A = this chain, B = another copy of it.
Amino acid sequence: MNVVSDQDIKREKILEASYQRFLHYGYSKTTMNEIAADLSLSKALLYYYFPDKSQLYIAVMRKLTCDYFKSLEEGASNFNTLRDAVIYQVNNQHEFMLKNYNFFDFFRLNEQNLPEPIWDIIAEVQQAEMLFLTRAIKSEIAKGEIKPIADPESVVDVLLDALHGIRVSAASQKKIRFPQKDQLDEIHNKRLLLADIFIAGLTR
């Protein structure tokens, strides 16, 4: 039985309105006052749900992450080859970053000092991507499409590190951790090239 309470509905509305604010104006330029006003809520009630802006932000990020997981789940049932699966993952992440780029200004502002719950979310995303690709590799091994691999997890781990390395390198040319928006296409193209070579290396 799935009971959705009024509280849950209100909470969802707050998350949605906050997401729109964070997305269009960024974390630093959004105030709790504005979010309360968008929803015609009293400030007290907003603070009842979320004790401060950073906790609200983290809750929105959790919701976004769930959407991202859903998109991976949907993709998982829709590919025919390992290449399809990896390219889907690379494209999916690119589109997610492109769409939500402003939302992540929190990362740029706090890149030296991200709060612990954000690190937890990052770890969950990495686990979900790991799981998605490990399943894909195992199913392709079972089909005989790629070479047998003693330890598929370690291959996926290396692939994810490698894909991540391309983002890091683009950003660190500017001595930052988080890439600039105009670097996203370059990162995407380099990742597609990496994915192509890597998959060719696994294919019979």
Contacts and interface: CB of A to CB of B under 8 A. Distances in A.
A59 interface: no
A143 B197 CA distance: 20
Interface stretch (A40-48, A89-97, A160-168): A160-168
Interface stretch (A15-23, A60-68, A151-159): A151-159
Interface residues of A, number: 27
A107 B105 CA distance: 27
Interface in A185-199: 190, 193-194, 196-199
Contacts of A112: 112
A54 to B, nearest CB: 18
A175 interface: yes
Nearest to A164: B165
A158 B165 CA distance: 9
Interface in A111-155: 112, 119, 154-155
A164 B198 CA distance: 16
A154 B200 contact: no
A14 B55 CA distance: 54
